[in-house]
Amino acid sequence: MKGLEKYRFLSRLQVTRESILSGEPFPDLDIVTNGLVLDLYSFCLDNNMIIKDYLYKFISACSKTDIETINAEATLAKIHRALKTCKTKRKNEEKELFLSQKFSIPVSTASAPRDTSSSAMPTPEQKETVNLKLKQQSTKMAAAREKSKQLKRKLERSEKRCDEKKLKLSISENETKKLRIELKDSKKNEKMLQRKLTQTMVKNAKLTNCMKDMKNAEAAMKNDLKNKTEKIQLIQSVLDETEEVVSYAEKNKKELQEANETIDFMNDIINDNPELAVYDEAEHKYTNETVQCVMNLTDMKEPTEKVGNVMKEVAKLCGKNINRVPSASTVNRIVDSKVALSETQIGSVLKEKENTTLYTDETRKYGKCMQTYIVTDDEQKSYILGLREMVDKSGTSTLDTFKDILKDITDYCHENEVNSKMGMGYKLLANIRDTMSDRASTEKHFNDLLKDYRSEILPDIVDNWADLSKQEQSLCSHMNNFFCGLHLLVGIADTCESAIKIFEKSFLDGKDIGSAEKPELKRYHRSESGTLRLIRTASKTFAVGEDEKNGVSLPWTNLRSKDEKNRIVRFKHNRFNLVFSLAVATFYHREDISSFLDQVHGKSNDLLKAVSLDVKEKLYLAGLKAFGLISKFITGPLWRLLEAPGHILEMNIVTV
């Protein structure tokens, strides 16, 4: 029929796809075959139809069976078994035979068999009885299941306890075996120790006899040594006399040799040509000895414009006339060549030095920012790479200046590096493994930039860089950054000064004390605490060479006794620990300062008046004492620890 071509058994009926979907009555059949049931089952699945509404209704109508008596689960299971059986039939004859067989419909066994012609519905009392029995049966089944679970848990626990006991038993058996083995070994060791004890006692007896013989021999040797010592002392006295004679003879010989050399030198001066040739007219250049002489004179801080005159005067002293004197511009060119020569020497020496350390420091002079670069090797030898002027003190400027120095070294050593990818200066950078600087943020930034720049050039310098593992490349690129511990003292001084300034302001609450009460003395005041002002003005007054006009260092020092030292030194605020040490000295001399200014010398100027007033204030004296205690227990021991001999990594060791 139309739309049922794929369903062979279903298409034989006088039905269409639309009639099945619309729910029209099915034709009466004598036999419901397996093939017809399977086709209808497949049709329901293909068209998303509810099996109960169509398949079971069709089976019920065709077989004249009450649809309520059909066991749905058993029927569906039987259909699945039929599908499986149909698939297992490989021969067509067997498969056709199976499909043409009658499909027996499973019915529910909950009620007695009924006649299909006259089926009676169960009464409500029967249904209630059946439901009650079903509930009782389900309750019993649940109780039986729970009891089964309990028994199963008990069995598992008993098996677990049994396994634990077996494990303990096996462990105890193993321990027993070990103890038996140890007992046997101990018995063997005991017998061995007894034998060794016997042997040791025999050896001790022999050693005792030997000791007696050695003591006798020692006494004899002491007597012999005493006699030989006396002989040696006698020989030593004779030898000392001989050495004095020999040293006197050598001294006379040396003096005679120097006299002969002087005579020879004077004879050469008298006999030689009085003209001293320092300039080679043929090659139009100064001799190497002359160039070296100019370099040495400039090293001795001799001005370039006076080098020629110095050479003339020395030549006159020796009775010589110089054929040509280098001018100031020539001396400057020689100095430039000296710088090039030094950088060439640095490149040739440091290329063989591994694990070097780079020291950097920045300072300001006359409004200019200057940076120094120094390298040290494993033997603690220092090599100055350069002192250069920078635009500012930033990390980027520091790195750019360092690159310029490396480029200069590379240019001067270019002839020795023809076959190299990178020059000598960059090899020097590759050998730097450590840096040393202060704790400034610009130096830390420079360290990061230097590490990145060094990592960029390492692949061009290190041989077979691509063959190295990631870990090996990381080790080659690693740099250790060390910082000067003494700069911490300057930071401590600044922090203490800020803290005591805040304390004084809070304590005084706007009140002026000491020299602050006198308007005419305000010129000695700065934006600082009163304690630091007292330290500074006391140093200005009593330190030698600090203030020659208003200070009284000379009478103050002369009035001190020979055993009492003037502990007040010049005030340099940026010097390590100087604020704390000056606070100790000022507090130590506080009574002497007051009596000296009030009773001995007098207060002849405003500086002395300011010191005399401030040294009597208890608040400032308390600040001096606080600074002194910090110096005694913190900064002083820390400074001594930092300056003590030893490796820098020992600073990380803390002992309790």
- 2.60.120, 1.10.1660, 3.30.420, 3.30.70: which CATH number matches 335-484? 3.30.420
| Residue 140 pLDDT greater than 50, yes or no | yes
- Give the three-state DSSP class for 384: strand
DSSP class of 106: P
At residue 656 the predicted structure's pLDDT band, cuts being 50, 70 and 90, is very low
At residue 55 the predicted structure's pLDDT band, cuts being 50, 70 and 90, is confident
List every span in the chain annotated with CATH 3.30.420.
335-484
Length of the chain (residues): 656
Q: Please classify residue 191 by burial: count the beta carbons closer than 10 Å to its beta carbon, then call 0-12 exposed, 13-18 middle and 19+ buried.
A: exposed
Of residues 17 and 586, more confidence is placed in 586
At residue 28 the predicted structure's pLDDT band, cuts being 50, 70 and 90, is low
Q: What is the pLDDT of residues 333-387, one digit of tens each?
A: 888 888 777 878 777 787 778 888 998 888 887 778 888 889 988 888 888 888 8
Position 625 scores a pLDDT of 92
Q: What is the pLDDT of residues 279-319, one digit of tens each?
A: 888 888 888 888 888 888 888 888 888 888 888 888 888 87
Q: What is the pLDDT of residues 630-643, one digit of tens each?
A: 988 988 888 888 77
Across 56-60, 277-281, 607-611, the highest mean pLDDT is recorded for 607-611
| Residue 30 pLDDT greater than 60, yes or no | yes
Closest CA to 387 of 406, 370, 409, 366: 370
Gap between the Cα atoms of 293 and 311, Å rounded: 9
Gap between the Cα atoms of 358 and 399, Å rounded: 12
At residue 82 the predicted structure's pLDDT band, cuts being 50, 70 and 90, is confident
At residue 270 the predicted structure's pLDDT band, cuts being 50, 70 and 90, is low
Of residues 347 and 165, more confidence is placed in 165
Position 337 scores a pLDDT of 84
> Stretch 559-577: mean pLDDT, rounded?
71
Q: What is the pLDDT of residues 535-547, one digit of tens each?
A: 988 988 888 877 7
Closest CA to 294 of 283, 304, 285, 284: 304
| Residue 644 pLDDT greater than 80, yes or no | no
User: Among 111-125, 219-233, 261-275, 476-490, which stretch is predicted with the lowest mean pLDDT?
Assistant: 111-125
Position 272 scores a pLDDT of 59
Using an 8 Å Cβ cutoff, are 557 and 520 in contact?
no
| Residue 325 pLDDT greater than 90, yes or no | no
Within 8 A by CB and 6+ apart from 327, the residues are 308
Output the average pLDDT for the chain.
Answer: 80
At residue 503 the predicted structure's pLDDT band, cuts being 50, 70 and 90, is very high
Q: Kindly state the tokens that stand for 571.
A: 């005030």
Q: Kindly state the tokens that stand for 47.
A: 């068209």
Gap between the Cα atoms of 404 and 385, Å rounded: 11
Gap between the Cα atoms of 613 and 541, Å rounded: 13
| Residue 626 pLDDT greater than 90, yes or no | yes
- Give the three-state DSSP class for 513: coil
Position 59 scores a pLDDT of 72
Position 624 scores a pLDDT of 92
Q: What is the pLDDT of residues 444-488, one digit of tens each?
A: 899 899 999 888 888 888 888 888 888 888 888 888 888 877 777
Position 264 scores a pLDDT of 64
